[in-house]
Amino acid sequence: MKNRVESERRERRESGESGANWTLGSAGDVVYVAPEPEPPGARVWFFTRLGGVSEPPFDSLNISTKVPDDPDAVAENRARIRDAMDGRESAWVRQIAGDGVARVSEAGLAGEADALVTGGEGFSLVVAIADCVPVALVGGEAGGVGMVHSGWRGTIAEISGKAVQKMGDTGVRAYIGPCIRQCCYEVSEELAGRFAERFGPEVVEGRYLSLPDAIRGNLEEVGVEEVHDLGLCTGCRPDLFFSHRKQGPRTGRNLAAVARLP
């Protein structure tokens, strides 16, 4: 596993990608993508599929019991992720592809929603992802954090902007994590048209839709000045991420997490 991470780092250096705004990190066997540089006052982990115990097609760091993976394997994967987050428990939501934002103050299930925000520390906010866009939010002056799950429904419903507004903070930084990108995301003409109308023609190219660009537009509308798009495509990188589009419904889910630092 470590060798794989090392060779990835080497490849990126050799391909001149050293200017990329992300880096691969590892904790135990678990491998994650982190923003580079890391945000002040918070930690962000976009966990890859590497370093867990699940068998194919859920290999190996699947965190969802909604797919037919072995529940014991999922429990072990979640424990490894908790260790990678220095023992932090997680606050999570039952994701319904809506625009609900839950404000939480402790770990545990926070009901049905697709985003979480908190001013608390000592636990992480997490969402499960397989192509949809994870957006980590790091507060400025007030210093809270947020995590958003944004598929096309959430994006057109402006969930990222709503999460920023719920944080009620200025100087929020946003980090757009690994997701299905325009290169791999063909949608219906009707849907492409709706996005072009709402977010501008530049978010579509023919029927290929860029969710990250639409989300960036939404974030800028609510006053976020720093939007860091990590640029990683789940469709192009099956070695690192699960992709519902590319691998079908029988695949795993990646975990995206953010935590405020004391």
CB nearer to Zn ion: give 100 or 212: 212
3-class secondary-structure state, position 262: coil
Alpha-carbon 140 to chain mean position:
20
Q: Are 30 and 250 in contact (CB under 8 A)?
A: no
CA torsion 16→22→26→29, rounded to 10°? -80
Tokens of 29: 């066997």
Cα(46)–Cα(121) distance, integer angstroms: 19
Task: Using the rule CB under 5 A, give the single segment among 79-87, 165-173, 208-216, 232-240 that binds Zn ion.
Answer: 232-240
191 is written with which tokens? 């849907």
**Per rule CB under 5 A, is residue 235 in the interface with Zn ion?**
yes
Query: Minimum distance from CB of 10 to Zn ion (Å)?
Result: 22
Choose, by CB under 5 A, the member of 84, 233, 257, 258 that binds Zn ion.
233
Structure tokens at 233: 């495509």
Q: Is residue 252 packed enough to be buried (19+ CB in 10 Å), middle (13-18) or exposed (0-12)?
A: buried
Residue nearer to Zn ion on the CB measure, 184 or 187: 184
CB of 134 to Zn ion, least distance (A): 16
By CB under 5 A, tell whether 239 contacts Zn ion: no
* Enclosing H/E stretch for 161: helix 159-167
Segment lying near Zn ion (by CB under 5 A), choices 16-24, 26-34, 86-94, 227-235: 227-235
Interface of this chain with Zn ion, residues 137 to 196, rule: CB under 5 A: 181, 183-184
Of 46-105, binders to Zn ion (CB under 5 A) are none
For residues 217 and 235, which CB has a smaller minimum distance to Zn ion in the complex? Answer: 235
Q: Minimum Å distance from CB 150 to Zn ion?
A: 17
CB of 233 to Zn ion, least distance (A): 3
Q: DSSP secondary structure string, 45-80?
A: EEE-S-S--PPTTSTTT---SSSSS-HHHHHHHHHH
- CB-nearer residue toward Zn ion: 106 or 239: 239
Q: Site for Zn ion (CB under 5 A): how many residues?
A: 6
Residue 212 in contact with Zn ion, rule: CB under 5 A: no
Q: Which residues here bind Zn ion, judged by CB under 5 A?
A: 181, 183-184, 233, 235-236
